[in-house]
């Protein structure tokens, strides 16, 4: 009932020649399957990747957007500009932006609204740190992140949520399928409180060192509807295998 969704987050990696080889190789290895797939390159390469994806079903996304529509905000990229470049998706609130750019839940709420207004589907990232998990606070932290960013959203249908435990991002540590499922189930319960009707169709992605070797087990869980993939998305064969597993 929920179509699987797998999103590549290239972070700050790539150069023109590398990007072309990666996307060409990935498209050649990608088998027709059930999953929807999105590539999120650095914003300066969106035009290049849009051209490479032109005749495929793979969609284009951005890694962030501004919370402002336009104006004298040097360095910012608006949601409308991203839409104009061919994006249909945008990642919002990745833990690296929360950590290195001090992005607050209130700011993320504004970004989500701006993204949807421009016609983009935002993917809100949530997740606890190692210390928070060890202190038994994981659910409390994730619940606060969800309510803080989503409380005022008017459209819960054009949205996805990625659960990315901070301790599993880029570390090689993965939440066990049972740990990930438990948190996904909890997230769906919180989303039922916000909008009971859309919670069942809302796609919840897991992120944190997803690889071909652990993808199938994660995707087999009832509330895991796909993945947000960092490191492994820079390897055409590995990423194609993850998409096929979904």
Give least dist CB 177 to ligand PEP, A: 16
Residue choice 47, 119, 170, 213 for contact with ligand PEP (CB under 6 A): 170
Nearest to 123 by CA among 166, 62, 178: 62
Neighbour-count burial of 75, counting CB atoms closer than 10 A to its CB (0-12 exposed, 13-18 middle, 19+ buried): exposed
Residues near 116 by beta carbon (within 8 Å), at least 6 away in sequence = 122, 153, 155, 158, 159
Which CB atom, from 53 or from 231, has the smaller least distance to ligand PEP? 231
Binding of residue 107 to ligand PEP (CB under 6 A): no
Instruction: Tell me if 163 sits within 8 A of 206, measured CB to CB.
Output: yes
Instruction: Tell me if 241 sits within 8 A of 215, measured CB to CB.
Output: yes
Q: Residue for token digits 């797998």?
A: 6
Binding of residue 164 to ligand PEP (CB under 6 A): yes
Q: Residue for token digits 């066990």?
A: 176
Residue choice 228, 241, 242, 246 for contact with ligand PEP (CB under 6 A): 228
Binding of residue 169 to ligand PEP (CB under 6 A): yes
User: Out of 67, 94, 96, 184, which one is annotated catalytic?
Assistant: 94
Residue 9 annotated as part of some ligand binding site: yes
Written as six digits, the tokens of 179 are 């740990």
The interface with ligand PEP within residues 18-47 (CB under 6 A) comprises none
Residue 61 annotated as part of some ligand binding site: no
Residue choice 78, 209, 214, 244 for contact with ligand PEP (CB under 6 A): 209
Q: Would you tell me how many other CB atoms lie within 10 Å of the CB of residue 168?
A: 21
Would you call 94 a catalytic residue per the annotation? yes
Residue 231 annotated as part of some ligand binding site: yes
Residue 148 annotated as part of some ligand binding site: no
Give least dist CB 232 to ligand PEP, A: 6
Known binding-site residues for substrate equal 9-11, 170, 209, 230-231
């Amino acid at each position: 009932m929920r179509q699987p969704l797998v999103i590549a987050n290239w972070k700050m990696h790539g150069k023109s020649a590398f990007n072309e080889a990666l996307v060409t190789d990935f498209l050649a290895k990608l088998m027709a399957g059930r999953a929807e797939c999105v590539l999120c390159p650095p914003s300066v390469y969106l035009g290049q990747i849009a051209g490479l994806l032109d005749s495929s079903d793979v969609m284009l996304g951005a890694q962030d957007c501004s919370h402002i529509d336009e104006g004298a905000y040097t360095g910012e990229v608006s949601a409308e500009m991203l839409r104009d470049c061919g994006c249909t998706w945008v990642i919002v609130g990745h833990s690296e932006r929360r950590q290195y750019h001090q992005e607050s839940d209130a700011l993320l709420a504004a970004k989500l609204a701006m993204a949807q207004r421009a016609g983009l589907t935002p993917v809100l990232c949530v997740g606890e740190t190692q210390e928070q998990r060890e202190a038994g606070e994981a659910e409390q932290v994730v619940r606060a992140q969800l309510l803080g960013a989503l409380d005022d959203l008017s459209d819960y249908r054009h949205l996805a949520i990625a659960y990315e435990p901070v301790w599993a991002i880029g570390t090689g540590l993965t939440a066990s399928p049972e740990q990930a499922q438990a948190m996904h189930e909890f997230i769906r319960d919180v989303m039922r409180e916000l909008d009971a009707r859309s919670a069942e169709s809302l796609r919840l992605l897991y992120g944190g060192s997803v690889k071909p070797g652990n993808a199938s087990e994660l995707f087999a869980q009832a509330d895991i509807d796909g993945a947000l993939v960092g490191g492994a998305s820079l390897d055409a064969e590995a990423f194609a295998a993850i998409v096929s597993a979904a």
